[in-house]
Amino acid sequence: MQNMTKDPKQTISGAVQAAFSLVLGNQHKDADPVVRLSQNSKFGDYQINGIMGLAKKVNQNPRELAEKIVEAMDLGEFAQSLEVAGPGFINVTLTSATLVKLCEEMDIPTLGILQSNDSHPIAIDLCGVNVAKQLHVGHLRSTIIGDSLARVFERIGRRVYRENHLGDWGLPIAKVLENLLSTGVDLDTISIEQLNTAYKDAQFISKDDVRGLETAQNICAGPHRIIELEEQNSGALPAQERAKTTLVRLQQGDSDLLSSWQKLIDCTMNEVYISLDLLNVKLGSKHNRGESFYRDRLGDVVDKFVDTKLAQEDEGALVVRFKNRKRPLLIRKSDGGFIYATTDLAAIYFRTQELKCDRVIYVVDARQRDHFKDLFDAAALIGWNKTPDSTDVDFKHIPFGSVLGENKKPLKTRSGSTVTLSSLLNEAIARGKAEVTRRSEDEKSQTYGMSSEELSTIGRQIGIGAIKYADLSNDLVSDYVFDMDRMISFEGNTGPYIQYACARIASLLEKSKETSFSSSIIVDTPQERQLVLVLLQYGNVVQSVAKHLEPHLLCLWLHEVTVAFNSFYQACPVLKVDDGAIRGSRLRLSELTRRVIVDGLDLLGIEVPKKM
């Protein structure tokens, strides 16, 4: 047999596929054995469920085929027994020696997570801050999903570029800047709230409706409507011209204007960094590469598409057309101006050809699905879907769903405005602090007698952990209802439930007075066996998250290992057991479980309080 992987499922799957090849021929060697942990331990540790589907394909009796597969399987001393059950399932029971060996092999600093030898970096586009606007609840998902994926890739040894693609250039920013300077606002003291208001005002002032006026005149609309539209346009059109003039000055490098522009960015990002710090997200100024970073590259991008005859003129504009759809990708407007797609293509070129990334992941809401399909297809047409060493680039858009209120509609404030991220985080922290303070009044609580400062720190960790876990534990493409009561609960599939279990383990280990947890592992009881079987899945769970870009797989597993530990803790005395060898083994299993949970929560960006 080849060397075993840390998760027995992989070894069993390999043995089954080898048997498929022996019994049915080499053409079936890659058929999925569908190996799962058994739902009921009395039937064994694992169940092989793929025989029935394969039997149908090869027109054989499934139970008879299962018996042939068992006879051909070679697991040596790895398995204690292989039994055919029902219409064609195979139950597998591992030897205790196998479980002990694999568990002890896992109990190393890497926790059994294999490290990648791929030298290509990965770029993850996340957060997506728009300068002069407050972060809203939509940024929560983009930021924490992207950060979690980055942590997972780094955990398996990949280099990751976190790319915060700031909306910091172009006409919208010029409108805000012109409006603020014309009204004499002190940009050295402006707040993010003032800046957010100024952004809305600037867009409103410059919003024209020339087409609406033409329509109103053509249909002979009432004079009041025509006058209203004329007044709107009379103010909007000059405002647009002033903004365009400001943009030209910016593009030409006017030092005073660039200084004022930088103050808008600083004001915005200072507030952003406060939220990112609360969220425990690894994202700072070194990760900011916004529209302004690419502004001098846009002409070259368009020229590359023109030179390769991939760009075609359409009424003065330049577009890229695709064979399988009518919708073209606009890369330059008829007036010569560039748009978001041009900047995004420049970013793709930079990430694949200069940074040499072989995976480029965009964590952006589902409304941008068509935009990214066009971008990725255009990049493939021009050859930017390969790195300079000809490695294929995997482009992925993660189209996450919306955060909903109790009414199942996008989360809004009572006034109907979008919920700001800072208000959401502050509410979560307040709820976390309140819950911790309430529990600390119990004399039996770990937090009894703690200072208000200590309780506040724990409350912040619980509150932020609660909303991050609730978000990440959902299928990313699905909407979910924001329910703070459920999120903050210490019961069920929640962040606090897992954090609390980890704190209990830490307390248990502290009470043991042990400083080294290195006793030999003993697996005698069903609960010990189940805990070990679940722990051994960790490495493959992390690899699955990296492969499928689905953090909820890790959340589900963390809940599963927490449930398994709680069952073990209830059934298997640790400190009160008389046998020293068993006590040492159970302490080691407890310490290994704690380390795995802490590591797994860290991949989600969730902190673990030492006491709760």
Q: What is the mean pLDDT of residues 564-591?
A: 97
More confident position, 309 or 235: 309
Helices (H), 156-280: 171-182, 192-205, 210-218, 223-251, 255-278
More confident position, 558 or 170: 558
Percent residues over pLDDT 90 in the chain: 75
Q: What is the mean pLDDT of residues 465-485?
A: 92
Which two structure tokens, joined as six digits, stand for 238? 């000059």
The residue type at 520? S
Q: Which of 555, 589, 363, 348 is nearest to 467 (CA)?
A: 555
pLDDT (tens digit, 9 = 90+) per residue, 209-219? 545 545 545 55
Degrees, nearest 5: CA angle 60-61-62: 105
CB 48 within 8 Å of CB 16 = yes
Q: Which of 167, 334, 178 is nearest to 244 (CA)?
A: 178
Q: Which of 90, 101, 108 is nearest to 3 (CA)?
A: 101
Element (H, E) at 35: strand 35-37
Residue 439 CA to residue 460 CA, distance in Å, equals 15
Provide the 10 A C-beta neighbour count for residue 49.
15
The pLDDT score that the predictor gives to residue 40 is 86
pLDDT (tens digit, 9 = 90+) per residue, 252-278? 889 999 999 999 999 999 999 999 999
The pLDDT score that the predictor gives to residue 3 is 42
What class has domain 117-168+281-400?
A: alpha beta
Q: Which of 576, 585, 461, 469 is nearest to 527 (CA)?
A: 585
287 has pLDDT over 80: yes
pLDDT (tens digit, 9 = 90+) per residue, 21-80? 999 999 999 999 999 999 888 899 999 999 999 999 999 999 999 999 999 999 999 999
CB 530 within 8 Å of CB 568 = yes
The pLDDT score that the predictor gives to residue 202 is 81
The residue type at 290? G
Give the 3-state secondary structure of residue 123. strand
Q: In sequence order, what DSSP letters do the residues of 354-418 get, joined into one string?
A: IS--SEEEEE--GGGHHHHHHHHHHHHHHTTTB-TT-PBPEEEEE----EE-TTSSB-B-TTSPB
Give, in order, the Cα–Cα distances in Å from 34 to each of 9, 27, 54, 553. 10, 18, 11, 17
| Mode of pairing for the β-strands spanning 394-398 and 359-363 | parallel
pLDDT (tens digit, 9 = 90+) per residue, 223-256? 554 445 445 445 566 777 888 888 888 888 899 9
Confidence band, pLDDT 50/70/90 cuts, at residue 396: very high
The pLDDT score that the predictor gives to residue 221 is 54
Instruction: Give yes or no on whether 8-94 and 117-168+281-400 have one common fold.
Output: no
What class has domain 421-603?
A: mainly alpha
The pLDDT score that the predictor gives to residue 405 is 87
Residue 204 CA to residue 480 CA, distance in Å, equals 32
Q: What is the mean pLDDT of residues 90-119?
A: 95
CB 435 within 8 Å of CB 462 = yes
Confidence band, pLDDT 50/70/90 cuts, at residue 197: confident
The pLDDT score that the predictor gives to residue 230 is 46
Helices (H), 129-222: 137-155, 171-182, 192-205, 210-218
Burial 157-193 (b: 16+ CB within 10 A, else e): ebebbbbbbbbbbbebbbbbbbbbeeeeeebeebebe
Q: What is the mean pLDDT of residues 548-567?
A: 97
Q: What is the mean pLDDT of residues 159-168?
A: 96
**pTM to 2 decimals?**
0.90
Which two structure tokens, joined as six digits, stand for 54? 């394969």
367 has pLDDT over 80: yes
The count of C-alpha atoms lying within 13 angstroms of the C-alpha of 61, restricted to the half-sphere facing its C-beta, is 7
Percent residues over pLDDT 70 in the chain: 93
- 37 burial (CB, 10 Å; 0-12 / 13-18 / 19+) is middle
Confidence band, pLDDT 50/70/90 cuts, at residue 201: confident
Q: Where exactly are the structural domains of the chain?
A: 8-94, 117-168+281-400, 170-252, 421-603
Q: What is the residue whose two structure tokens read 């760009």?
A: 311
Give, in order, the Cα–Cα distances in Å from 484 to each of 47, 275, 279, 428, 495. 38, 18, 16, 7, 12
Residue 61 CA to residue 375 CA, distance in Å, equals 50
Torsion of CA 105, 107, 112, 115, to 10 degrees: -110
Phi/psi-derived region of residue 193, left when phi > 0, alpha when psi is between -120 and 50, beta in every other case: alpha
Residue 258 CA to residue 241 CA, distance in Å, equals 19
**CATH of 8-94 given 3.30.1360.70, 3.40.50.11890, 3.40.50.740, 3.30.70.360:** 3.30.1360.70
Q: What is the mean pLDDT of residues 354-381?
A: 96
Q: In sequence order, what DSSP letters do the residues of 283-332 get, joined into one string?
A: --GGGB--GGGGTTTHHHHHHHHHHTT-EEEETTEEEEEETTEEEEEEEE
| Mode of pairing for the β-strands spanning 394-398 and 160-163 | unpaired
- Cβ neighbours for 440, distance < 8 A, ≥ 6 positions apart: 447, 448, 449, 450, 455
The pLDDT score that the predictor gives to residue 4 is 45
The pLDDT score that the predictor gives to residue 5 is 54
More confident position, 145 or 401: 145
The pLDDT score that the predictor gives to residue 432 is 95
